Amino acid sequence: MKYKMKHLPRTPFDGDAVHEECGVFGIYVPEGEEISPAHEAYTALFALQHRGQEACGIVVNKNGVFKCHKDVGLVSSVFSQEILDGMPGNMAVGHVRYSTTGQPSRENAQPLSITHVKGNLAVAHNGNLVNAGKLRREIELGGGIFRSSSDTEVLVYTIVRERLKCGSIEEAVLNAMNVIEGAYSLCIMSPRKLIAARDPRGMRPLCMGRLGRCIVFASESCAFDALGAEFVRDIEPGEVVVVEDGEIRSLHCPQKPETAACVFEYIYFSRPDSVIDGASVERARQEAGKYLSIEHPVGADVVIGVPDSGIPAAIGYAKCSGIPYGVGLIKNRYIARTFIQPGQSKRERSVRLKLNALREAVAGKRVIMVDDSIVRGTTCARLVKLIRDAGAAEVHMRISAPPFRHPCFFGTDIPDRSMLLAHNRTVEEMREIIGVDSLGFLSLEAAHRIAIGCKLHFCDACFSGTYPMEVPEQAEKNIFESEI
């Protein structure tokens, strides 16, 4: 069953980009292996840094004793050799965070590590729960006290509550999956077990690999490549994988809703060198470009891509249309991401600092510029001006996603609907605002066909407004956030 959202959503957001969600990692080192889980987690989190740059953390487990280090900042600034050397263990979970629920603060950094009456627990979570507000109120009315404003703490409380009623942590996770609603890919560590769990719709990615005799879990397979680990398989929607005493067991929660993997993982979030649910992200982006060229053909001299995620789509467009591909925008690789910079004036400057037009590639030419998405349209308009100022004769914009018209409740920070360029505007009106000669978006139908090899159904709610589950109403969400 699909649901339409009835109310205006979310709080305003001051960047012209969609924020990533989070990245998770877990490693189990069997007895006799000389591998440091903290160092491996550091490397994996480094490879997953694109999924969140606000905070990061690692919890190691040495024979049941947990040690946690986490803070706001990038992986390279939060951890040092000395810190990692001081975190020996036989298991670890790690996390990189961008806050879609809760404020960016040290308290909200993950993994969340707690001690309950039956032992220690550490949890790294990617995704958002849609019933976190309701669950939090229930727990608070029962005497629970929260330390953070993150929905992950609600999730941890729910697992612990179930743990007190059953015989094992994996049973508690399965029971909690009956209660929590939303998107979640989890790496969970108890004194003796490492557990990976994915929500029944498979909304966020999660995969398993092997590093020698060690078992590793990560949001994306690019983390395994960084470690030199071998990709084994994706965690299935609704699956709970338990690693204990070097053995792997697979359990499944009873709910079997229609799957709803986030299609935007392929369009923008994930690294192009990742393979998610059987589909190459790079290939999916090229396919998006191919469909764009079929759906929105135009006569031109060169196809350029907006770095980074617009480039594979531009290559796909060029291959299919026969128009040559060219490098028209140069990215300054040493600048932090645009959205880290607060305030309008700094943001404007950061666009110019981040990207520059290559005059030789575009001067006097009819240019097709391919980007992955348009949020507010301000960055897009500035890029168009850059290309025109560099002498382009025409600029035709092609977007490798459908227009954003609705919020995401599953871990992606898409701003208030009223702030979206596509809100209540036709394509012609958007074209005028960003100042291009023509504008074309990928169709919804094509978006569902780009991930070749993926057997899951897709969530496309931010484009279609059709949600794969009931989502919070505006009033409830506001109350939840203000109460926190």
What residues are labeled active site? 22
Query: Interface with ligand SF4 by CB under 6 A: which range of 102-110, 191-199, 256-264, 368-376?
Result: 256-264
Q: How far is the CB of 265 from ligand SF4 (least distance, A)?
A: 7
Q: Counting contacts by CB under 6 A, is residue 441 touching ligand SF4?
A: no
Find, among 227, 246, 230, 292, the residue nearest to 449 by Cα.
292
Q: How far is the CB of 414 from ligand SF4 (least distance, A)?
A: 6
Q: How far is the CB of 2 from ligand SF4 (least distance, A)?
A: 12
| Polymer length in residues for the chain | 484
> How many residues sit in the footprint of ligand SF4 (CB under 6 A)?
11
| Phi and psi based region of residue 354 (left: phi greater than 0; alpha: psi -120 to 50; beta: remaining) | alpha
Q: How far is the CB of 462 from ligand SF4 (least distance, A)?
A: 3
- Rounded Cα distance between 29 and 56, Å, is 21
Q: Which is nearer to ligand SF4, 38 or 263 (CB)?
A: 263
Q: How far is the CB of 406 from ligand SF4 (least distance, A)?
A: 7
Find, among 153, 151, 172, the residue nearest to 161 by Cα.
172
Residue 380: strand, helix, or coil: helix
Identify each DSSP E strand in 5-54 by its residue range: 22-28
Q: How far is the CB of 258 from ligand SF4 (least distance, A)?
A: 13
Q: Which is nearer to ligand SF4, 263 or 392 (CB)?
A: 263
Q: Which is nearer to ligand SF4, 99 or 341 (CB)?
A: 99
At a CB cut-off of 8 Å and minimum separation 6, what does 213 contact? 30, 32, 33, 246
- Rounded Cα distance between 259 and 84, Å, is 38
- Rounded Cα distance between 145 and 159, Å, is 15
Q: Counting contacts by CB under 6 A, is residue 461 touching ligand SF4?
A: yes
Do residues 238 and 177 make contact, with C-beta atoms less than 8 angstroms apart? yes
Q: Counting contacts by CB under 6 A, is residue 268 touching ligand SF4?
A: no
Task: List b or e across 96-116, with b for residues whose CB sees 16 or more CB atoms inside 10 angstroms.
Answer: bbbbbbbeeeeebbbbbbbee
Other CB atoms within 10 Å distance of the CB of residue 479? 14
Q: Which is nearer to ligand SF4, 70 or 376 (CB)?
A: 376
Q: Which is nearer to ligand SF4, 150 or 412 (CB)?
A: 412
Q: Which is nearer to ligand SF4, 215 or 459 (CB)?
A: 459
Among 462, 471, 472, 477, binds ligand SF4 (CB under 6 A): 462
Question: Hey, what amino acid is at 176?
Answer: A
Q: How far is the CB of 17 from ligand SF4 (least distance, A)?
A: 13
Element (H, E) at 362: helix 359-362
Among 203, 207, 300, 383, binds ligand SF4 (CB under 6 A): 203
Q: Which is nearer to ligand SF4, 29 or 408 (CB)?
A: 408
Query: Interface with ligand SF4 by CB under 6 A: which range of 96-104, 250-258, 260-268, 381-389?
Result: 260-268
Q: How far is the CB of 182 from ligand SF4 (least distance, A)?
A: 10
DSSP string spanning 220-287? STHHHHHHTPEEEEEPPTTEEEEEETTEEEEEE-S--PPP-EETHIIIIIS-TT-EETTEEHHHHHHH
Q: Counting contacts by CB under 6 A, is residue 375 touching ligand SF4?
A: no
Q: Which is nearer to ligand SF4, 111 or 182 (CB)?
A: 182
Among 264, 291, 325, 441, binds ligand SF4 (CB under 6 A): 264
* Maximum Cα–Cα distance across the chain: 71
Q: Counting contacts by CB under 6 A, is residue 263 touching ligand SF4?
A: yes
Looking only at the bridges linking them, the beta strands covering 466-467 and 3-4 are antiparallel
Element (H, E) at 68: strand 65-72
Q: 356: which strand partners?
A: 330
Binders of ligand SF4 among 213-232, rule CB under 6 A?
none
The token pair at 326 is 């060219």
Find, among 417, 423, 419, 426, the residue nearest to 378 by Cα.
419
* Site mask for ligand SF4 (CB under 6 A), range 390-429, x = bound: ------------------x-x-x-----------------
Q: How far is the CB of 6 from ligand SF4 (least distance, A)?
A: 16
- Rounded Cα distance between 96 and 145, Å, is 25
Residue 81: strand, helix, or coil: helix
Q: Which is nearer to ligand SF4, 105 or 466 (CB)?
A: 466
Among 262, 288, 300, 451, binds ligand SF4 (CB under 6 A): 262
Give me the residues that bind ligand SF4 (CB under 6 A), please: 203, 262-264, 408, 410, 412, 459-462
